Structure formats: structure tokens, C-alpha cells
Amino acid sequence: MSRVCVFIDGSNLYFALKRNNKMTRVDYYQLSLALAGDSRKLVRTYYYNATFDTNHFSDKAKSQQSFFDSLDRTPYLELRLGRIIQNREGHRMEKGVDVLMAGDMVYYAARNFYDTAIVVTEDQDFSPAMNLVKELGKQVELAVFPDAQSREMIRAADKIVNLDEVVKSHSSHIFPPTQATDVHPNEDMGFEG
């Protein structure tokens, strides 16, 4: 049975879901199972996002924590966090997230941890890492919405997975009922993925 690892660029997916009028509260285990399919084995999901520094943004950091705690309880999911900084112009930016994700994709391919990487992002910065994964003899599938398929990313992937079709056909599992206390870490953070 082919082994699959799913690599999710969290803030990128969040804004893609919003742009496509989808719910943003996601069961990442169910999403990963849907992406892997019945004929392949889901080894692990790696979820990447950024966290506010508690010393400088204590309220925002607290609002993120319940979401990150829920991810810690998600089966077969590893949470990888960069940080959110404020630049000189006052804009908030993620730091370290892309490097973590690209590094993990290549590292786990080199360690023969998986046969296929399913990459959930629209960020073209990942195309070099995707090409390295392919050079290591692994397959790379890119899961994106139809409105965000860049030529560079299509070229870097072995296969394009229509994320809109996946979430529509598995929506009852992927989008659990919302609760008033659920806050996504990218909600009202002052930047776009």
C-alpha cells in the first residue's frame, strides 16, 4: 500500500477556503484521509502556521491557543509553528513557516518516510522543494482550488488534486459543526497568507 504524507500550509488554506466561500473550521484528519483516498495509507499530516509572540501580542496568542490545542488532539498530525512578526511599516508577516514546510517535505522524502507527498498550498515558493522531492523518487500531488492553479506549481507537481471536489464530496466529514468558541489562528490577524 502506497504511503502518503500531507503537508498543509495552514494560513494559505484558510484564505483559499474563505475566497472559495467554504467553511474554515476543518477536521484535518478527515481532510487528509479524503486526500489520501481508500487505496493508500495516510502516514502523517504536517500542519504549518504561525503563532503570535505572547510577550508582544498576548491577546492574539491566547485566541490562537485553543485552535492549536485542538490540532494537538488530531490523529496523526504534527503541528509545526513559525512566528508572526511586525515589520517596520507595521505589517504582520509569517516567518519560518515556508522553511519548515519545505525542509520537512525534502527531509521525510530523503528518509523514505512516504511514497507520495500531498501538498496543500498555493504558494509558488514551494515549487523548488516539490521538485527536490520528485528527484528523490517520490510523487508529489498538489491539492488546490481551480482558481489558483499557477503554471509553475502545475509543472512542479506530478498530479493536481481539485480541492473543491474533495471538500464537496467529503464536506460532512471535513467541516464539523461550528461552535462559538472556535477561533481559527488566521481569523482577524491583520495579514493574508
pLDDT digits (tens, 9 = 90+) for 60-106: 767 788 888 889 999 999 999 998 887 888 788 888 899 999 999 99
How far apart CA 60 and CA 52 sit, in angstroms, is 7
Q: What pLDDT, in 10s, does the model give residues 99-132? A: 999 999 999 999 999 999 999 999 999 999 999 9
Spatial contact of 53 and 158, defined as CB atoms under 8 Å apart: no
Ordered by where they begin, the domains of the chain are: 2-174 (3.40.50.1010)
Phi and psi at residue 128, in whole multiples of 5°?
A: -60, -40
Q: Are 4 and 116 in contact (CB under 8 A)?
A: yes
Q: Fill in the amino acid letter for 59.
A: D
Q: Which alpha helices (DSSP H) does 37-161 contain, by range?
A: 58-72, 97-110, 127-135, 151-156
Q: 484564505: which residue's cell?
A: 15
**Closest among 21, 37, 27, 20 to 70, alpha carbons compared:** 27
Neighbours of 181 (CB within 10 A): 6
Q: pTM here?
A: 0.89
Rounded-to-integer distance, Cα 73 and Cα 69, Å: 7
- More confident: 62 or 163: 163
**Mean pLDDT on 29-53:** 94
| 32: nearest Cα among 103, 131, 114 | 114
Burial class (CB in 10 A: 0-12, 13-18, 19+), 173: middle
